[in-house]
Amino acid sequence: MKIKTVEKLQDRLNEDFAWRKKELIDFQMMIHSTKNRTICRMGLALLCAHFEGFLKRAANYYIVFVSSQNLRISELRINFAAIYFQGNFDSCNETDKISVYSNVLHTFLDCYENLSFRVHYSQDKPLIKTGGNPSSLVFKEIVNSIGLDFTLYETKQKYIDTDLLSNRHGIVHGEKVYITETEFDETLKNILEIMELFKENAKRKENKKKTVDTEKYNIKPEEDANQPSNLLYEESLSILFIKSDLRLVVDLQDCVKAQQNAAYANKVKLSNLKEMAKTVAYIQKHGYDTRDSLEDSFSEIKGHASASRKDLKSVEDNLRRINEQIHYTGQYLTNKSAYLKFMKAKNKGQFRQEHPTEIALYESARKFLKGQSADGKLPSMKLLKAEKEKLLQQKKEAQKTYHYYRDYQKELNTVCSNVDKILGQTHTRQPGKQKSADIS
Residues 283 and 346 in one domain: no
The 10s digit of each residue's pLDDT in 238-294 is 334 445 666 777 776 667 776 777 777 777 777 777 778 778 777 777 777 777 888
Is 325 in the same domain as 418?
A: yes
325 and 419 housed in the same domain: yes
Task: Please indicate, yes or no, whether residues 406 and 257 belong to a single structural domain of this protein.
Answer: no
Structural domain harbouring 392: 289-434
Q: Are residues 260 and 339 in the same domain?
A: no
Q: What is the pLDDT of residue 253?
A: 64
Side chain identity at residue 177, one-letter code: V
∠ CA 119-122-127, nearest 5°, is 50
Give the integer Cα–Cα distance in Å for 78 and 274.
13
Regarding predicted confidence, which is higher, 57 or 288? 57
- Asked whether residue 267 falls in the same domain as residue 375, the answer is no
| Residue 219 forms part of a structural domain | no
Tell whether 52 and 109 lie within a shared domain: no
| Residues 304, 194 within the same domain | no
Other beta carbons less than 10 A from residue 99's beta carbon = 8
In a domain, 272, yes or no: yes
208, 227 in Cβ contact below 8 A? no
Q: Helix H segments across 160-213?
A: 167-172, 181-207
Regarding whether 337 and 293 lie in a shared domain, the answer is yes
Beta strands, E only, 125-169: none
For residues 210 and 224, what is the distance between their CA atoms, to the nearest angstrom?
14
pTM assigned to the model: 0.47
- Kindly state whether residues 66 and 50 are assigned to the same domain: yes
Residue 290 φ/ψ, nearest 5 degrees:
-135, 160
Q: Does residue 217 lie within any of the structural domains? A: no
Residue 221 domain flag:
no
235 within some domain: no
Task: Assess whether 386 and 425 both reside in one domain.
Answer: yes
Q: Are residues 331 and 196 in the same domain?
A: no
Indicate the number of domains in the chain. 3
Is residue 229 a part of any domain in this protein? Answer: no
Instruction: Report pLDDT digits (tens) over 356-367.
Output: 999 899 999 888
For the segment 111-139, what is each residue's pLDDT rounded down to a tens digit? Answer: 777 778 887 777 777 878 877 677 888 88
